[in-house]
Chain A
């Protein structure tokens, strides 16, 4: 087995030891360009991200809102290829921060499932988050991930039945991704009241940490979500920080740093709910 040394579980455990949620940051590879995305990811690590998610830009991103879709489209138009994504993973993983790829399924199938797993592991990648692949459709990926010691992060949703939550968490390794709202990615003014009950339902089925994603864009929201979740996942807000400075990467990176620090502060000042059990 390779890759386990960089698995995301270690980062979640470290955050838990500090009595806080982990900050998970998402950015598509190749946005604003391949080199720029590496700089941006390094900035995010430097400013307090505990885990990185690198998006593989895809032409038909069903779960993404306009912010992330525009970034992915820019990356594709800039010529970003799957092998560039793996290069970005390699550069980001060199920081020592667990780095997962978030991808729609077709590019992996096209690349070759086994070959993708092998190349991701040798790039130092920690695993894969699969927004359009549920465990019951994923035997090939599960086998390849197991062979290479990669994290398998599947999603649970407010609409998931308890049975499906249990089936999903049983197939996960690393952490479980709870989508807090019924809807696509995008920063939201308020966090969802669907999130906490979903996290509780998920915790009831597994000892794995549960990260909550979709919508968080401020330190205060991170503090709120960090009070009941083991990880706070932020995507669109990071993308927007760069989009707000389209032709000025240094200004974009500065905005990214400020935002990351705000979010990292949020997960640190979160008041953990008493019912949150301390798990071994």
Chain B
């Protein structure tokens, strides 16, 4: 591990533009290469400009930042702990640290982003929010923030996802949100985004679109990163405080990439810290059934940004597959495309089977049931930790964003593992 002085802490310390950040038009890296940008109907440009201005203005306003920090602390329960998973560490032979975003209010990192965007919505004087959701976690977080701030809320969700995440649909209903099942296209997250964008075109005057991940048109990738970068800022400060050193590697699962970019942002300038993103490998990236966009996709434009996309030879979006609804997305945030292209971060796939194995492993070694999304990060991080342990010994440290808890995924786990039947008298082995 590398010895360094403590860096800027605090969940929202607004960062000056670094070499991995977007330019003012939302392009990451060489503008000729053009990751990111804004490939959107003209009808939404004014709203995106308004949002960009409001976000810049808010982040420069100490009052807004203080209010955001207060609501994160008092309502969402932040900062989340950095926890040394000792039994798992012993098993792997390296030190594994878990950034416990699963302990946040509503059970995932997503609450940071929605509280930030909802606070901004209030500041902009809008009264209604819309959101899209895959796993339902972002929908639940949005419905929660809407309830907290007294905003109307409509959540778009692929019809397929409403079925596999019925519990979260019920939670959104209880929180007072309207949930619209989207039947078009593949009836999953990408189609929910299309539908939310359509709603937005017709309602921009009074409605804010709480985008659920660090993808989409500028300013969403950068704005969502700024609202979630508390994950990394907190974790970095906690790691230094608790261990006096930085981790050798940080790891997170990547759907659209909000929890990953929130973690990574704090470490990008720490050259000695390896940065790892784990994508949903589904049945394997050599099969058609996966959601590993960076590893198995190609450059294209989807949902307003140039990024890696799962697509066919004609540029039609290919259906993605993952056992975790939250990673089941054929695009990825453009900053991740840039980090992959520059080699600053490395992205690898984790299959459904590997993720489920990691879900069980973390449950049994630590008594923590992670979301299946998160389990992808755990599986991938164990790979990295095993290698680092061989290189550096047991002090090798891998810090994982434990992005969410697994309650919502019990249905899938019951099916996968055949759980829920009483054990024989001698118990499970």
Contact = CB atoms under 8 A, between A and B. Distances in A.
Interface stretch (A47-55, A128-136, A144-152, A248-256): A128-136
Nearest to A110: B315
Interface stretch (B51-59, B300-308, B353-361): B300-308
Interface stretch (B42-50, B66-74, B123-131, B237-245): B42-50
Contacts of A154: 42
Contacts of A58: 315-316
15 contacts: A106-B302, A106-B309, A106-B315, A106-B317, A110-B300, A110-B314, A111-B315, A133-B39, A134-B38, A136-B25, A157-B41, A159-B44, A164-B45, A168-B42, A181-B202
A26 B333 CA distance: 33
B198 A184 contact: yes
A265 to B, nearest CB: 30
Nearest to B306: A109
A134 B194 CA distance: 18
A155 B184 contact: no
A30 to B, nearest CB: 12
A59 B190 CA distance: 10
Interface in B176-204: 184-185, 190-191, 194, 197-198, 201-202, 204
B41 A132 contact: yes
Interface in A74-93: 76, 81-82
A234 interface: no
Interface string A101-130: 000011111110000000000000000000
B194 A61 contact: yes
Contacts of A156: 42
A155 B194 contact: no
Interface in A147-193: 154-161, 164, 168, 179, 181-184
A155 B300 contact: no
Contact of A155 (B42, B301, B304): B42
A157 B185 contact: no
Nearest to A62: B197
A108 B301 CA distance: 10
A60 interface: yes
A62 B198 CA distance: 6
Contacts of B45: 134, 157, 159-160, 164
Nearest to B316: A59
Contacts of B38: 134, 137
Contact of B314 (A63, A82, A158): A82
A73 B39 CA distance: 22
A109 B41 contact: no
B286 interface: no
A131 B43 CA distance: 9
Greatest chain A CB density within 10 A among B42, B44, B45, B317 is at B42
B100 to A, nearest CB: 36
B319 to A, nearest CB: 9
Nearest to B301: A106
A69 interface: yes
Interface residues of A, number: 41
Nearest to B313: A110
A62 B317 contact: no
Interface in A188-216: none
A61 B198 CA distance: 10
Given A60-B190, A82-B314, A107-B315, A73 B43 contact: no
Contacts of A63: 41, 43, 198, 201
A155 B43 CA distance: 8
Nearest to B315: A110
A60 B43 CA distance: 17
B337 to A, nearest CB: 14
B37 interface: yes
Please provide the 3 A-B residue pairs with the shortest distance between their CB atoms, ordered closest to farther: A110-B315, A107-B315, A157-B43
Contacts of B37: 137
Nearest to A107: B315
Contacts of B194: 60-62
Contacts of B309: 106
Contacts of A137: 37-39
A40 to B, nearest CB: 22
Contact of A107 (B25, B39, B43, B316): B316
A183 B314 contact: no
B311 A110 contact: yes
A109 B40 contact: no
Contact of B311 (A106, A168, A179): A106
Contacts of A182: 43, 201-202, 204-205
B160 to A, nearest CB: 16
A217 B306 CA distance: 35
A175 to B, nearest CB: 15
A184 B317 CA distance: 20
B300 A132 contact: no
A184 B45 CA distance: 15
Contacts of B302: 60, 106
A259 B197 CA distance: 31
A106 B299 CA distance: 10
Interface string A18-48: 0000000000000000000000000000000
**Most chain A Cβ neighbours within 10 Å, of B46, B300, B309, B315:** B315
Contacts of A62: 40-41, 194, 197-198, 303
B300 A106 contact: yes
Contacts of A181: 202
Contacts of A159: 42-47, 204
A60 B317 contact: yes
A265 B43 CA distance: 30
Contact of A134 (B42, B301, B311, B314): B42
Nearest to A69: B184
A157 B198 CA distance: 14
